[in-house]
């Protein structure tokens, strides 16, 4: 594991203390059997039709042809993923990192199939309306490696929202001044990161998928805002492509995704 890894079985106080200092923490979430079950669940979601009952699929163009790049608004339609993200250890850890009870704000699967694009340097906070206190995480469905586009983070840079470019990503001159750390994440482990922790990821240059489940949690004291988030996102998507390059797929409320339109 990467330096700074904190085992999920250690005291949550230690996880929270490291998180407060570094802006991120790596924990063990699932054993081998549960990891295999999660991989099956993600296969099920990927097989859902595009014109379903409320979930959202996004696709990108790769050198190998069109590919699924993201699914979101999943848990109303999948009992297993809903239980994983809203009951037990995931919510417990999120609450420890927030310092108060947590509730799920949003969820997505990023697939990053072979040839899939990466994400520009950004912070999550500018893309998440309605909330002030939130924590994001990446649950590795497959081993996330440097070759297939694992996350890179900046340690100790989560005190404020940094200057941005017109797409809402971190301004290039700021990016160059930051020290970026590659964080491989084994399948079944979770990389937790503060909503203001700078992060980015490269394209998948391998022949293996780098699928990851990304839930975000907010302080329960701010309310259960998940429905409001998806209503706002769908309204903004319907209104246009502001903040997204003309040849890029729009998957976020900022223009961080580097994927090409199909």
**What's the total number of domains in the chain?**
1
In a domain, 180, yes or no: yes
In a domain, 96, yes or no: yes
Is 197 among the domain residues?
Answer: yes
Residue 244 pLDDT: 54
* Domain-located, residue 141: yes
The answer to whether residue 73 is domain-embedded is yes
What's the pLDDT score for residue 8?
44
Find, among 174, 173, 191, 195, the residue nearest to 182 by Cα.
191
Gap between the Cα atoms of 216 and 199, Å rounded: 15
Q: Answer whether residue 231 is part of any domain.
A: yes
Please name every residue paired with 199 in a beta bridge, in sequence order, or none if there are none: 122, 153
- State residue 77's pLDDT score: 96
The CATH number of the domain holding residue 92 is 2.60.120.620
Provide the residue range defining the domain that includes 171: 12-207+216-239
Tell me the whole-structure pTM to 2 decimals. 0.91
Profile the chain (262 residues) by mean pLDDT over runs of 10 residues: 44 89 94 97 96 88 93 96 95 95 97 96 89 92 98 97 95 98 97 97 96 97 93 81 60 87 88
Confidence at residue 145, expressed as pLDDT on a 0 to 100 scale = 98
Cα-based torsion angle of the residue sequence 192, 193, 195, 196 in order, rounded to the nearest 10 degrees: 180
> What does the pLDDT read at residue 91?
95
Determine, yes or no, domain membership for 261: no
Establish if 259 belongs to a structural domain: no
Residue 76: phi and psi, rounded to 5, are -65, -15
What's the confidence (pLDDT) of residue 132?
A: 81
Count the helix, strand and coil residues of the chain and give each as a percent rounded to the nearest 5: 30, 25, 45
């Amino acid at each position: 594991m990467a330096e700074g890894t904190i085992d999920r079985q250690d005291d949550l106080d230690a996880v929270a203390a490291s998180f407060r200092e570094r802006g991120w923490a790596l924990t063990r979430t699932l054993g081998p059997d549960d990891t295999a079950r999660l991989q099956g669940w993600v296969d099920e979601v990927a097989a859902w039709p595009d014109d379903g009952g409320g979930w959202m699929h996004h696709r990108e163009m790769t050198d190998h042809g069109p590919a699924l790049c993201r699914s979101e608004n999943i848990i109303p339609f999948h009992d297993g993923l809903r239980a994983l993200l809203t009951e037990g250890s995931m919510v417990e850890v999120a609450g420890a990192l927030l310092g108060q009870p947590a509730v799920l704000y949003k969820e997505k699967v990023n697939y990053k199939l072979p040839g899939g694009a990466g994400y520009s340097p950004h912070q999550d906070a500018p893309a998440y309306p309605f909330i002030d206190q939130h924590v994001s995480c990446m649950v590795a469905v497959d081993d996330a490696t440097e070759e297939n586009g694992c996350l890179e983070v900046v340690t100790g840079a989560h005190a404020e929202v940094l200057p941005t470019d017109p797409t809402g990503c971190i301004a290039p001159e700021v990016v160059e001044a930051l020290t970026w750390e590659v964080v491989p994440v084994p399948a079944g482990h979770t990389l937790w990161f503060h909503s203001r922790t700078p992060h980015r990821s490269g394209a998948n240059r391998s022949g293996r998928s780098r699928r990851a489940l990304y839930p975000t949690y907010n302080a329960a004291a701010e309310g259960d805002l998940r429905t409001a988030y998806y209503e706002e996102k769908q309204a903004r998507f319907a209104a246009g492509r502001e903040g997204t390059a003309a040849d890029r797929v729009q998957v976020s409320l900022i223009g961080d995704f580097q994927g090409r339109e199909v």
